[in-house]
Amino acid sequence: MTAPVFVADSLAGAAPGATLTLDGPEGRHAVAVRRLRVGEEIVLTDGAGTGAFGTVAAVEGRERLEVAVAEVRVEPEPEPRITVVQALPKGDRGELAVETMTETGVDAIVPWSAARCVTQWRGERGAKALRKWRTTAREAGKQSRRLRFPEVAEPASTRQLLPLLASASFAAVLHEEGSRPLAAAELPERGELVIVVGPEGGIAPEELEVFAGAGARPYRLGPSVLRTSTAGTAAAALLLGRTGRWS
């Protein structure tokens, strides 16, 4: 069985031969839900690139266990970094998009309040939706055994996206009328690649114009038009393959 991954509040002192404690909600899940026992393999991560690999040394009560560390791994920052600007979908499709992009390997996700988004995040409803996206990224990161979870940024308006697009090494807006295929785009080896995914109603012409002014040109992904909840995942997979991060 593949060793399950849990998030530790801190990996301070993690080193081969050391013992770490997992408690709280993560410890409860490990003991009461996964029913881990002494001797079973386990991975603890801080979600920021560090992982402690070891075995369960002791189980205490229903929400605490001790982990004997055998190895510590530190993953470097990925190059190039891939960020997806995701327009807000309807219903739970936003969490679906975050889940699959996390499993695929996206490094950052920016919720975007596009002009044609049916859903708009305001007040407590918006704060709750953002928490769901961040929780989804965390759980998907654990499920896919990532040591570095994607950052889910604060929601941004079209204007607030411009500094991100202008500073990117490569910025593309997925659009069915794009004259250039993303599969043939010239990509940098380093820096940040930013992909903008529009809402179900499409990206407004004025948004395309503003993005172009910041250096983000329209690219087509393929012959079919994907839903907003799947386009980011497909684009990220293409970029991960082309940049060698999947090699």
Read off the pLDDT band of 80 (50, 70, 90): very high
- Per-residue model confidence (pLDDT) at position 247: 85
The burial of 22, by beta-carbon neighbours within 10 Å (0-12 exposed, 13-18 middle, 19 or more buried), is given as: buried
The per-residue pLDDT for range 171-204, each reduced to its tens digit, is 999 998 888 999 999 999 999 999 999 999 899 9
What mean pLDDT, rounded, does the chain reach?
A: 95
The per-residue pLDDT for range 108-141, each reduced to its tens digit, is 999 999 999 998 899 999 999 999 999 999 999 9
Share of the chain above pLDDT 70, in %: 100
d(CA 125, CA 142) in angstroms, rounded, equals 26
Q: Quote the tokens at residue 19.
A: 């013992």
CB distance 242 to 187 below 8 Å? yes
Pairing between strand 50-60 and 64-74?
A: antiparallel
- Please check the confidence at residue 32 and state whether its pLDDT lies above 90: yes
User: Who has greater pLDDT, 246 or 176?
Assistant: 246
- Per-residue model confidence (pLDDT) at position 1: 64
Read off the pLDDT band of 105 (50, 70, 90): very high
| DSSP states along 109-167 | EEEE--TT-S----HHHHHHHHHHHHHHHHHHHHHTT-SBPPEEPPPB-HHHHHHHHHH
